[in-house]
Amino acid sequence: MTRDEQIALVERYFAAVDSQTLETLLETLTEECVFTVETHGVRLVGHEAISGMFRRLWAAHRAVLHHRFTHVPDPDAGRIASRFTVENTDHDGSLVTKSNCNFFEIEGARFSAVAVYMAGPNTLDRG
């Protein structure tokens, strides 16, 4: 993948998270993708476990938004790092803003691993 293709894949993933489009989100992940929240000791493997985590995230919030990206692609190594702002809108309308970093490993045209470093409370729990 080129640098631009890596960035497009990351932004497709986050657009799917923000629009709560699970099918599109899973299309960005390999079947056995390893998803970790490094700052909170979470490790999930595969579409079923990852799907459950995102369903819980979406149920717990009125909306989620990822934006203000800074991407550092490394096409030769098949990796990309992304720093961004997360805005979670709770059901009562309150807004929680975080600064997060994700590190993605790419296999083919999908992520084989996603490592999340999250400021503040864990919004991506094990369930």
Tell me the domain boundaries of the chain: 3-118
Average pLDDT, the chain: 95
Cα–Cα distance for residue pair 81/72, rounded to 1 Å: 5
The pLDDT-based confidence of 97 (bands split at 50, 70, 90) is very high
Q: pLDDT of 2-27, one tens digit each? A: 999 999 999 999 999 999 999 999 99
CA 67 vs CA 75, 99, 108, 112, 125: distances in Å:
22, 10, 25, 22, 21
127 pLDDT higher than 60: no
Q: What is the pLDDT of residues 112-126, one digit of tens each?
A: 999 999 987 777 764
pLDDT computed for residue 124 by the predictor? 72
Span 29-86, pLDDT tens digits: 999 999 999 999 999 999 999 999 999 999 999 999 999 999 999 999 999 999 999 9
What is 3-118's CATH number, 3.40.50.620, 3.40.228.10, 3.30.1300.10, 3.10.450.50? 3.10.450.50
